[in-house]
Amino acid sequence: MLLTDLRTIYERDPAARNWLEVLFCYPGLQALLFHRVAHWLYQMGIPFVPRFISHISRFLTGIEIHPGAQIGKGVFIDHGMGVVIGETAIVGDSALIYQGVTLGGTGKQTGKRHPTLGNNVVVGAGAKVLGNIQIGDHVRVGAGSVVLRDVPSHTTVVGIPGRLIRQQENLTADALSHNKLRDVEAEVIQALFERVKALEKQVEELGDQSSLSEFQVSQPQTNNGKSRTNLVIEEFLDGAGI
C-alpha cells in the first residue's frame, strides 16, 4: 500500500524529488498512514484510541480523516491543509484531493451520511461534497464547487450548486488542468446576451424609427460607441476583474 501511495505521488506531483522527502514532508501521505492504523483499530471495535490517533494526525498534518472513513489505494491528498473526510465517506482508488476539500454530511441523521467517491476522481481545492451521494468514476469536481447531488461517471461538476458537464476528453490524461474547466454560468449568460441582441435587432427592424431613435439616445454610451450595459456584460463574459 505504501509503495502504491509513493508511486502515485511521483506520478502526480512534479515537485516530488526523492522518497525521503515525500515520506517526511508530504502531510497527505502522513495523514493516510495515520488513518490506516486508526481505521484498522476502528474496525476492531477499539474505543477512543482510533479517534485519538485521528486527532493527533489532524494536529500534525492539518488533515482530518475520521477513522471510519474508507480510503482506497493510490489516493493522493495534495497539500491537504483543511481537508475533512467524514465517518461514512468512501474514497475510491487513485483519487486526487486538494486542500480545503470537505467530504461531509448535511444533517444529524445516522447511518450512511457522507459521499462515496468512485475511482480516479479529482476534487479541486476548496470543493465541498456533501451528503450521502454517489460520485462516479473519472469525475472532476472544480475548485470551490458545492456538490449536493449524485454525479455520473466521466463528467465534470462546477459551480455553486454544482452543475454537470458531460466530458468528451480523457480525464486521466489531463487531470490537473483546472484552467480548462468550462464556466457554464458564463456560457448561459452569453447565450442569453446573444438572444437579447437578436431580439433588439428584430425590434429595430419592425419598430418605428422615430421611437427607436429616442430609445437609442436614452442609452448611456461609452467612448467606443457601445452602450454601458452591453460593455458591462461583455467585460463579465471576458472575466474582467476576476
2-180: CATH number: 2.160.10.10
State the Cα–Cα distance between residues 48 and 51, nearest whole angstrom.
5
Q: Can you give the pLDDT at residue 178?
A: 61
What's the pTM?
0.74
Residue pair 124/144 in contact by the 8 Å Cβ criterion: yes
User: Residue 236 has what pLDDT?
Assistant: 61
Alpha-carbon torsion 39, 40, 43, 48, what sign? negative
pLDDT value, residue 6? 78
> Which amino acid belongs to residue 67?
P
Separation CA 89–CA 104 (nearest Å): 8
State the Cα angle at 199 between 197 and 204, rounded to 5°. Answer: 95
pLDDT < 70 regions, the chain: 166-186, 188, 208-242
- DSSP string for the chain: -HHHHHHHHHHH-TT---HHHHHHH-HHHHHHHHHHHHHHHHHTT--SHHHHHHHHHHHHHS-EE-TT-EE-TT-EE-S-TT-EE-TT-EE-TT-EE-TT-EEE-SSS--SS-S-EE-TT-EE-TT-EEESS-EE-TT-EEPTT-EE-S-B-SSEEEETTTTEEEE--S-GGGSTT-GGG---HHHHHHHHHHHHHHHHHHHHHHHS-HHHHHHHHHTS-B-TTS-BHHHHHHHHHHTTTT-
pLDDT at residue 242 in the model: 36
Q: How far apart are CA 149 and CA 129, in angstroms?
A: 9
The predicted structure's pLDDT at residue 110: 81
pLDDT for the residue 2? 72
Contact 113, 129 (CB under 8 A): no
Q: What ranges do the domains of the chain cover? A: 2-180, 184-237
pLDDT of residue 133: 94
